[in-house]
Protein backbone atom coordinates (compact mmCIF):
# COMPACT_ATOMS: atom_id res chain seq x y z
CA UNK A 1 0.00 0.00 0.00
CA UNK A 2 1.35 3.41 -0.97
CA UNK A 3 2.06 6.03 1.65
CA UNK A 4 0.47 9.48 1.38
CA UNK A 5 3.84 10.85 0.28
CA UNK A 6 4.11 8.29 -2.52
CA UNK A 7 0.54 9.01 -3.62
CA UNK A 8 1.26 12.74 -3.79
CA UNK A 9 4.39 12.12 -5.83
CA UNK A 10 2.43 9.98 -8.28
CA UNK A 11 -0.27 12.65 -8.59
CA UNK A 12 2.40 15.26 -9.28
CA UNK A 13 4.07 13.02 -11.84
CA UNK A 14 0.79 12.41 -13.66
CA UNK A 15 0.08 16.15 -13.61
CA UNK A 16 3.41 16.89 -15.29
CA UNK A 17 2.91 14.14 -17.88
CA UNK A 18 -0.55 15.46 -18.77
CA UNK A 19 0.80 19.01 -19.06
CA UNK A 20 3.59 17.75 -21.33
CA UNK A 21 1.09 15.89 -23.49
CA UNK A 22 -0.84 19.11 -24.05
CA UNK A 23 2.32 21.06 -24.87
CA UNK A 24 3.73 18.40 -27.19
CA UNK A 25 0.42 18.03 -29.02
CA UNK A 26 0.14 21.77 -29.58
CA UNK A 27 3.74 22.58 -30.53
CA UNK A 28 5.50 19.34 -31.41
CA UNK A 29 8.25 17.60 -29.48
CA UNK A 30 11.29 19.59 -30.54
CA UNK A 31 9.94 23.08 -29.85
CA UNK A 32 8.60 22.58 -26.33
CA UNK A 33 10.76 23.81 -23.46
CA UNK A 34 10.60 22.32 -19.98
CA UNK A 35 9.60 25.71 -18.57
CA UNK A 36 6.49 25.61 -20.78
CA UNK A 37 5.57 22.22 -19.34
CA UNK A 38 6.08 23.65 -15.85
CA UNK A 39 3.79 26.59 -16.62
CA UNK A 40 1.11 24.28 -18.04
CA UNK A 41 1.33 22.05 -14.95
CA UNK A 42 1.36 24.99 -12.53
CA UNK A 43 4.64 23.94 -10.92
CA UNK A 44 8.18 25.22 -10.84
CA UNK A 45 10.58 24.14 -13.57
CA UNK A 46 12.83 22.63 -10.89
CA UNK A 47 9.95 20.30 -9.97
CA UNK A 48 9.66 19.12 -13.56
CA UNK A 49 13.39 18.39 -13.71
CA UNK A 50 13.22 16.57 -10.39
CA UNK A 51 10.77 14.09 -11.89
CA UNK A 52 12.21 14.11 -15.41
CA UNK A 53 15.89 15.19 -15.55
CA UNK A 54 15.84 15.04 -19.37
CA UNK A 55 13.13 16.08 -21.79
CA UNK A 56 13.46 12.76 -23.61
CA UNK A 57 12.45 10.97 -20.41
CA UNK A 58 9.30 13.08 -20.30
CA UNK A 59 8.57 12.41 -23.98
CA UNK A 60 8.75 8.64 -23.40
CA UNK A 61 6.60 8.95 -20.27
CA UNK A 62 3.89 10.71 -22.27
CA UNK A 63 4.13 8.08 -25.02
CA UNK A 64 3.85 5.25 -22.49
CA UNK A 65 0.88 6.87 -20.76
CA UNK A 66 -0.84 7.29 -24.14
CA UNK A 67 -1.14 3.49 -24.32
CA UNK A 68 -3.26 3.24 -21.15
CA UNK A 69 -6.66 3.40 -22.82
CA UNK A 70 -5.83 0.93 -25.60
CA UNK A 71 -4.31 -1.56 -23.16
CA UNK A 72 -7.41 -1.45 -20.95
CA UNK A 73 -9.83 -1.70 -23.85
CA UNK A 74 -7.97 -4.56 -25.56
CA UNK A 75 -7.99 -6.54 -22.30
CA UNK A 76 -11.70 -5.84 -21.76
CA UNK A 77 -12.73 -6.84 -25.28
CA UNK A 78 -10.51 -9.93 -25.35
CA UNK A 79 -12.38 -11.24 -22.29
CA UNK A 80 -15.87 -10.82 -23.77
CA UNK A 81 -17.92 -14.00 -24.42
CA UNK A 82 -18.02 -13.38 -28.19
CA UNK A 83 -16.51 -15.04 -31.23
CA UNK A 84 -13.00 -14.07 -32.26
CA UNK A 85 -14.41 -12.25 -35.29
CA UNK A 86 -16.87 -10.24 -33.18
CA UNK A 87 -14.13 -9.22 -30.76
CA UNK A 88 -11.84 -8.21 -33.62
CA UNK A 89 -14.67 -6.06 -34.97
CA UNK A 90 -14.96 -4.37 -31.57
CA UNK A 91 -11.21 -3.79 -31.37
CA UNK A 92 -11.23 -1.93 -34.68
CA UNK A 93 -14.23 0.09 -33.55
CA UNK A 94 -12.44 1.08 -30.33
CA UNK A 95 -9.40 2.26 -32.29
CA UNK A 96 -11.58 4.45 -34.49
CA UNK A 97 -13.82 5.76 -31.69
CA UNK A 98 -10.78 6.66 -29.58
CA UNK A 99 -9.30 8.67 -32.41
CA UNK A 100 -12.54 10.56 -33.01
CA UNK A 101 -13.06 11.23 -29.30
CA UNK A 102 -9.78 13.07 -28.80
CA UNK A 103 -9.94 14.97 -32.11
CA UNK A 104 -6.83 13.17 -33.40
CA UNK A 105 -4.65 14.42 -30.51
CA UNK A 106 -3.31 10.95 -29.74
CA UNK A 107 -2.67 10.39 -33.42
CA UNK A 108 -0.74 13.63 -33.77
CA UNK A 109 1.38 12.86 -30.74
CA UNK A 110 1.99 9.25 -31.80
CA UNK A 111 3.07 10.36 -35.27
CA UNK A 112 5.44 12.95 -33.79
CA UNK A 113 6.83 10.50 -31.22
CA UNK A 114 7.52 7.69 -33.67
CA UNK A 115 9.24 10.09 -36.05
CA UNK A 116 11.28 11.65 -33.23
CA UNK A 117 12.32 8.28 -31.81
CA UNK A 118 13.33 6.88 -35.20
CA UNK A 119 15.80 9.72 -35.81
CA UNK A 120 17.66 9.32 -32.51
CA UNK A 121 21.14 7.85 -32.72
CA UNK A 122 20.74 6.20 -29.33
CA UNK A 123 17.58 4.62 -27.88
CA UNK A 124 15.48 7.08 -25.89
CA UNK A 125 15.73 6.76 -22.10
CA UNK A 126 13.18 4.35 -20.62
CA UNK A 127 12.07 3.27 -24.09
CA UNK A 128 12.06 -0.31 -22.80
CA UNK A 129 9.06 0.57 -20.64
CA UNK A 130 7.19 1.85 -23.69
CA UNK A 131 8.03 -1.30 -25.66
CA UNK A 132 7.00 -3.48 -22.72
CA UNK A 133 3.57 -1.81 -22.68
CA UNK A 134 3.18 -2.56 -26.38
CA UNK A 135 4.07 -6.18 -25.66
CA UNK A 136 1.38 -6.37 -22.98
CA UNK A 137 -1.18 -4.98 -25.43
CA UNK A 138 -0.29 -7.67 -27.95
CA UNK A 139 -0.44 -10.33 -25.24
CA UNK A 140 -3.98 -9.20 -24.45
CA UNK A 141 -4.90 -10.43 -27.92
CA UNK A 142 -4.03 -14.04 -26.99
CA UNK A 143 -7.62 -15.16 -26.22
CA UNK A 144 -8.84 -13.78 -29.55
CA UNK A 145 -5.99 -15.43 -31.45
CA UNK A 146 -6.55 -18.78 -29.73
CA UNK A 147 -10.31 -18.69 -30.27
CA UNK A 148 -9.82 -17.60 -33.86
CA UNK A 149 -8.05 -20.88 -34.51
CA UNK A 150 -10.88 -22.87 -32.87
CA UNK A 151 -14.27 -21.27 -33.36
CA UNK A 152 -14.19 -20.97 -37.14
CA UNK A 153 -15.07 -17.26 -37.17
CA UNK A 154 -11.59 -16.39 -38.50
CA UNK A 155 -10.28 -17.91 -41.73
CA UNK A 156 -8.10 -20.96 -41.16
CA UNK A 157 -5.95 -20.97 -44.28
CA UNK A 158 -3.34 -18.79 -42.56
CA UNK A 159 -2.04 -18.47 -38.98
CA UNK A 160 -4.41 -16.41 -36.80
CA UNK A 161 -1.73 -14.46 -34.92
CA UNK A 162 -0.01 -12.66 -37.85
CA UNK A 163 -3.39 -12.18 -39.52
CA UNK A 164 -5.03 -10.48 -36.52
CA UNK A 165 -1.98 -8.43 -35.52
CA UNK A 166 -1.46 -7.25 -39.11
CA UNK A 167 -5.10 -6.20 -39.41
CA UNK A 168 -5.01 -4.24 -36.15
CA UNK A 169 -1.69 -2.53 -36.93
CA UNK A 170 -2.71 -1.74 -40.50
CA UNK A 171 -6.04 -0.27 -39.45
CA UNK A 172 -4.54 1.80 -36.62
CA UNK A 173 -1.91 3.23 -38.97
CA UNK A 174 -4.41 3.97 -41.73
CA UNK A 175 -7.07 5.70 -39.64
CA UNK A 176 -4.39 7.89 -38.09
CA UNK A 177 -2.70 8.69 -41.41
CA UNK A 178 -5.81 9.53 -43.41
CA UNK A 179 -7.19 11.74 -40.64
CA UNK A 180 -3.99 13.69 -40.06
CA UNK A 181 -3.51 14.35 -43.77
CA UNK A 182 -7.10 15.37 -44.48
CA UNK A 183 -6.28 19.07 -44.06
CA UNK A 184 -3.63 18.96 -46.81
CA UNK A 185 -5.31 16.49 -49.15
CA UNK A 186 -8.05 17.16 -51.70
CA UNK A 187 -11.01 14.94 -50.92
CA UNK A 188 -14.47 14.78 -52.48
CA UNK A 189 -17.42 14.83 -50.13
CA UNK A 190 -17.97 11.10 -50.55
CA UNK A 191 -14.39 10.09 -49.67
CA UNK A 192 -13.85 11.96 -46.42
CA UNK A 193 -11.64 10.28 -43.76
CA UNK A 194 -14.63 8.76 -41.95
CA UNK A 195 -15.82 7.10 -45.16
CA UNK A 196 -12.40 5.68 -45.97
CA UNK A 197 -11.93 4.46 -42.42
CA UNK A 198 -15.24 2.61 -42.48
CA UNK A 199 -14.55 1.10 -45.92
CA UNK A 200 -11.15 -0.23 -44.87
CA UNK A 201 -12.65 -1.69 -41.70
CA UNK A 202 -15.18 -3.63 -43.76
CA UNK A 203 -12.49 -4.80 -46.21
CA UNK A 204 -10.24 -6.09 -43.43
CA UNK A 205 -13.05 -7.82 -41.57
CA UNK A 206 -14.36 -9.43 -44.76
CA UNK A 207 -10.86 -10.68 -45.59
CA UNK A 208 -10.33 -12.43 -42.29
CA UNK A 209 -13.82 -13.81 -41.73
CA UNK A 210 -14.07 -17.58 -41.62
Give me the phi and psi of 134, to 5 degrees please: -65, -40
pLDDT score of 189? 67
Q: Looking at residues 76-91, what average pLDDT do you find?
A: 95
Tell me the whole-structure pTM to 2 decimals: 0.85
Closest C-alpha among 55, 52, 57, 208 to residue 144: 208
Q: How far apart are CA 24 and CA 42, in angstroms?
A: 16
- 74 and 178 belong to one structural domain: yes
Residues in the chain: 210
pLDDT tens sequence across 98-129: 777 665 677 778 888 888 888 888 899 999 99
pLDDT tens sequence across 3-49: 777 888 889 999 999 999 999 988 889 889 999 999 999 999 999 99
Residue 186: pLDDT band with limits 50, 70, 90: low
Q: CATH number for the domain including 30?
A: 1.10.10.60
pLDDT score of 102? 65
- 89 and 42 belong to one structural domain: no
- 203 and 133 belong to one structural domain: yes
Q: How far apart are CA 51 and CA 2, in angstroms?
A: 18
Amino acid sequence: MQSKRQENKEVQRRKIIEAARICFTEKGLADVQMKEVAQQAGVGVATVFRYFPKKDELIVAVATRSLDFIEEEFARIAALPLSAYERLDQLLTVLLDNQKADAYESGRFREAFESYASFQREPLPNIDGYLARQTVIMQNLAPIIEDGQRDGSIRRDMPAKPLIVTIINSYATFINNVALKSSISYLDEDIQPETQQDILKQILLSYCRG
